[in-house]
Amino acid sequence: MSAKAYALYLKDFRSEIRTRYAVNSLAMFVIVATSVILFSIGNETITQSLTAGLFWVVIFFSAMSGLSRAFVSEEERGTSLTLQLLAAPSTIFSGKLLFNMVLVFCMNIVITILYSALFDGFAVRNLTLFIVSFFFGNAGLAIASTIIAAIISKAGAKGTLYPVLSFPILLPLILTSVQLTLMSFEGASFSDAKFELSIIICYDVIMLTASYLLFDFVWKD
Amino acid sequence: MAWKIFLFVLLAFVCIAGIAFPIVPVPTKWYEFPFIPGLKENAKIIFFHVPTAWLSVVAFLMSTIYSFKYLKNKNLDDDAKSYAAAQLGIIFCILATVTGAVWAKFAWGSFWSWDPRQTSIFALLLIYGAWFALRSSIESEEKRATLSAVYAIIAFLTVPFFVFIMPRIMKGLHPGSADDTNSGPVIDFKMNANMELIFFLSLIGFTILYFWMWNIGYKSIIYRDRINKKYRG
């Protein structure tokens, strides 16, 4: 199963390398969104809590612009039926999740570098807390957006529905992640952030389990 | 028929009692409510606001339960039940949001202040909105039922985060919040026996009303679908 899932990931990865569709659109989206924020801030100095919020705003909308490709592209190219014949639903979900996970991590590392270069408020004091919360936050983002991408790829309307469906599901994750990012700016210790970290880990586990259980129903026509 | 008359009398009594019974510092007569510090006359909203909020969550729960049933049995009647529950749920959700916001204007000074309860009712409204948007975007009946059932279940999994966890990490103004000192946990300590009685009567009355409306709602959806199928081939 894992070998097949990895093969599916490699297939997506290669087709991404050839077309560079998702990477290009994601990179441009990140640049556009960040520059809009920079223009609107102008010469004002913004607080750290606002910086943490804006950081997750860009992450959310970039994820919404790129992550639906995983399943929508299969429907567009008409290859989803072939995939159904070749592998079990859970294998397909694993492969797609792996691809989205890699995409989210690359995208968010770029966003973090951009933010730490461009925003004065983006000064991480507790780096390990930031990295741990960044890891679990991104994992949750990838899991929830992959299952929603599967749903909208089977539904008719593709582009506009994705952020609408994802936002309520991602809201607990985003609110907690903003809190955690702010805490890492303020230099809070792990014991201060224990509660928030456990929320985010719970969210990841719940969403991962539910996605694997429910993906069968979405995938089979 | 008898229970419909009973329901009418119950709700009429709750409405009259909830609005007309006076709030006094030291209740002596059976129809007097106690004075709750920090809430004052505003406390009376509990008879109408809490049942709507409760029903918007109950409707969501029922919608999820019937989504489960649909995925298990693939019976389109379950989808109709889930849809009817959500239709009522969004009405009660809007009512709870609006009554809560109007109350907040007088109790807290502004219509909206991102209190954890307000955040969670807003998230519930968003979920209902997204759910209806998803449903309206799919033509095929079976596909619509399956995908909306999956979405309802995933969305329901976020409810514990809003109900149990958000109020703990965000500071709250709502009566019953964790750090509420002057008017908190209203139900446990500050209401007297007759206020509690009318509150629970109101809760029961509105719940019966909801189930009645839901019954009519899902039957009409099922009949409409049958008639459509019969005459369109």
More confident residue, A77 or B172: A77
- Taking the CA atoms of residue B56, residue B59, residue B60 and residue B63 in that order, the dihedral angle to the nearest 10 degrees is -160
pLDDT for res A158 = 63
Instruction: Kindly indicate the confidence band of residue B111, based on its pLDDT and cuts at 50, 70 and 90.
Output: confident
Q: How much is the average pLDDT of B77-96?
A: 93
Which parts of chain A sit beneath pLDDT 50?
Answer: none
Rounded Cα gap, residues A46 and A122, in angstroms:
10
DSSP track, B57-76? HHHHHHHHHHHHHHHHH--H
The mean pLDDT value of chain B amounts to: 84
Sign (positive/negative) of CA torsion B63, B64, B69, B75? Answer: positive
Is it the case that residue B38 has pLDDT exceeding 90? Answer: no
pLDDT for res B106 = 83
Q: How much is the average pLDDT of B119-141?
A: 90
Is it the case that residue B62 has pLDDT exceeding 90? Answer: yes
Q: Which of A26-30, B168-172, B221-225 has the lowest mean pLDDT?
A: B168-172
Q: Cβ of B139 and A156 within 8 Å?
A: yes
pLDDT for res B114 = 82
- A201 part of contact set with chain B, CB < 8 Å: no
Q: Cβ of B151 and A176 within 8 Å?
A: no
Q: How far off is chain A from B66, nearest CA to CA, in Å?
A: 15
Q: Select the residue from A93, A179, A197, A217 to test the B interface by mutation, using most B Cβ atoms within 10 A.
A: A217
Q: Cβ of A164 and B157 within 8 Å?
A: no
Angle at which helix B76-107 crosses helix B193-231, to 10 degrees, equals 140
Q: Cβ of A155 and B157 within 8 Å?
A: no
Nearest to A151 among B150, B158, B168 (CB): B150
- A117 part of contact set with chain B, CB < 8 Å: no
- A203 part of contact set with chain B, CB < 8 Å: yes
For A177, name the nearest residue in chain B, comparing CA atoms only: B169
Rounded Cα gap, residues B59 and B91, in angstroms:
10
Q: How far off is chain A from B225, nearest CA to CA, in Å?
A: 21
For A221, name the nearest residue in chain B, comparing CA atoms only: B143
> Residue B69 burial (CB < 10 Å; 0-12/13-18/19+)?
middle
Nearest to B147 among A155, A167, A203 (CB): A155
**Is residue A16 a contact partner of residue A23, using CB atoms and an 8 Å limit?**
yes
Q: Cβ of B137 and A161 within 8 Å?
A: yes
Residue B27 φ/ψ, nearest 5 degrees: -70, 130
Q: How much is the average pLDDT of B54-64?
A: 92
Q: Cβ of A217 and B123 within 8 Å?
A: no
Nearest to A155 among B119, B137, B153 (CB): B137
CB contacts of B162 in chain A (<8 Å) are 171-172
Radius of gyration of chain A (CA): 18
Instruction: Please list the alpha-helical segments (H only) found in B74-140.
Output: 76-107, 116-136
**Is residue B204 a contact partner of residue B14, using CB atoms and an 8 Å limit?**
no
Q: Cβ of A172 and B71 within 8 Å?
A: no
Q: Which of A104-113, B11-20, B167-176 has the lowest mean pLDDT?
A: B167-176
Q: Select the residue from B128, B131, B151, B163 to test the A interface by mutation, using most A Cβ atoms within 10 A.
A: B151
Instruction: Please list the alpha-helical segments (H only) found in A119-156.
Output: 127-154
Instruction: Kindly indicate the confidence band of residue B185, based on its pLDDT and cuts at 50, 70 and 90.
Output: very low
- B130 part of contact set with chain A, CB < 8 Å: yes
pLDDT for res A21 = 80
pLDDT for res B37 = 66
Rounded Cα gap, residues A15 and A103, in angstroms:
13
- B163 part of contact set with chain A, CB < 8 Å: no
What's the pLDDT tens digit per position in A174-211? 989 998 999 899 888 888 888 889 999 999 999 999 99
Q: Cβ of B130 and A168 within 8 Å?
A: yes
pLDDT for res A188 = 84
Please give the angle made by the CA atoms of A109, A115 and A116, to the nearest 5 degrees. Answer: 90
Instruction: Kindly indicate the confidence band of residue B173, based on its pLDDT and cuts at 50, 70 and 90.
Output: low
CB contacts of B170 in chain A (<8 Å) are 175
Is it the case that residue B176 has pLDDT exceeding 80? Answer: no
Name every residue whose Cβ is closer than 8 Å to that of residue B192 and which is 6 or more positions away in sequence.
B27, B33, B34
Please give the angle made by the CA atoms of A200, B56 and B160, to the nearest 5 degrees. Answer: 20
**Is residue B88 a contact partner of residue B213, using CB atoms and an 8 Å limit?**
yes
CB contacts of A218 in chain B (<8 Å) are 146-147, 150
What's the pLDDT tens digit per position in A136-146? 999 999 999 99
Is it the case that residue B91 has pLDDT exceeding 90? Answer: yes
- B123 part of contact set with chain A, CB < 8 Å: yes
What's the pLDDT tens digit per position in B22-34? 777 777 777 777 7
Nearest to A168 among B126, B137, B168 (CB): B126
Query: Which of A180, A38, A29 has the alpha carbon at shortest distance from A120?
Result: A38
The pair of three-digit structure tokens given for residue B187, joined into one six-digit string: 């139900």
- Taking the CA atoms of residue B65, residue B71, residue B73 and residue B76 in that order, the dihedral angle to the nearest 10 degrees is 80
pLDDT for res B153 = 94
For A214, name the nearest residue in chain B, comparing CA atoms only: B150
